[in-house]
Amino acid sequence: MVHDFLIIGGGIAGISAAARLSELGSVLLLEAEDSLAHHASSRSAALYEPRYGLAPVVELSLASAEFYHRAEGILSPRGMMVVARADDAAQFEAEAEAMQFDRLTPEEAREIVPVLAEDVTLAAHADHAWDIDTDLLLQRFGREARQRGATFRTRAPVTAIVREGGFWSVTAGERHHARVIVNAAGAWVDRVAEMAGVRPIGFTPYRRSVARIPAPEGRDVSRWPMIFGTGEGWYAKPDAGALIVSPAEEHPMEPHDAWADDMVLAEGLARYEEMVTTPVTRLIASWAGLRTFAPDRVLVIGRDPAEPSFFWLAGQGGYGFQTCPAASRLAADLLGERPPEVPPALVSALAPARFG
């Protein structure tokens, strides 16, 4: 059988693309791991904050708003807060302005997050941020794809890709054939391109570590916003009755199944502790994920200029969930050769041809 579309990668990018592309033809998705969404997609902070990122990312995120606000049960209110001391006022003001946050007095900030330290005198807050139920979203896209006949194969690492007879032949245990390859392989996208004889773009995976800690003083943190330090030097977010805290580091890595660096995690927890009144006495769990960026830190969506049957859906970085509704729709529009729903300037900003 020759599939119309063969998707490599079973994270949110690949699964959402499978749902959209199954409207256009037959789809086979290959995932190397034992389960879907094993890597970055299962380790995301899972927040929809459409003003987070560079301009093309923000535009793509805003284009996803209608989907998210109409999808029952996917979003729940969270909000965001950025906090700082007086000596960091310039960066605080720049970030609060860019993210369209409302300024708070220290007293108002501590009404929301009571454990903020006394010398945290700068705070700003916004309601335009929501938790994403990632499991429900993945299930929704997966169900849509399967209902239209898409096939998902796990434990199927791709070991060879050959262009022959006008089709792609992809070896993943057995051989599969397809008219179009969709490269949604996350940290491995350049390696997939090299296997296919396509020039890699130069993506870099960056590790980000996370710890889950008990709720400070046993408080109910369920209504707390996601809290950031300036420069995204750390963040904290309620999670299942506890807090997840990250140093928000970006350390370049080779593609692999990432784990947290204990020293980096300790440094991030120390930055968090400096801003609150309650020390961290123990960890419940820790983990890490790889956030993969193109050289310009903007997603790459489009046909390869030298090999049009090879389609890039890559470089989601930390924006995979918040952009996936519009990103997968754009992929389907481009592969279905129909006018994209997003503006032409955004299509160009995301296209792989921008790398020459």
| Largest pairwise CA distance in the chain | 69
Contact yes or no for 145/16 (Cβ under 8 A): no
Mean pLDDT of the chain: 95
> For the domain 2-45+134-203+295-355, what is the CATH code?
3.50.50.60
* Tens digit of each residue's pLDDT (9 = 90 or more) over 66-111: 999 999 999 999 999 999 999 999 999 999 998 899 999 999 999 9
Task: Give the strand pairing for 122-126 and 80-84.
Answer: antiparallel
219 band by pLDDT with thresholds 50, 70 and 90? very high
Contact yes or no for 215/281 (Cβ under 8 A): no
Superfamily of domain 80-126+204-292: D-Amino Acid Oxidase, subunit A, domain 2 (3.30.9.10)
Indicate where the chain has its CATH 3.30.9.10 domain(s). 80-126+204-292
Indicate where the chain has its CATH 3.50.50.60 domain(s). 2-45+134-203+295-355
Residue 39 clears pLDDT 90, i.e. is over it: no
Cβ burial of 338 (10 Å; 0-12, 13-18, 19+) is exposed
* Tens digit of each residue's pLDDT (9 = 90 or more) over 289-320: 999 999 999 999 999 999 999 999 999 998 99
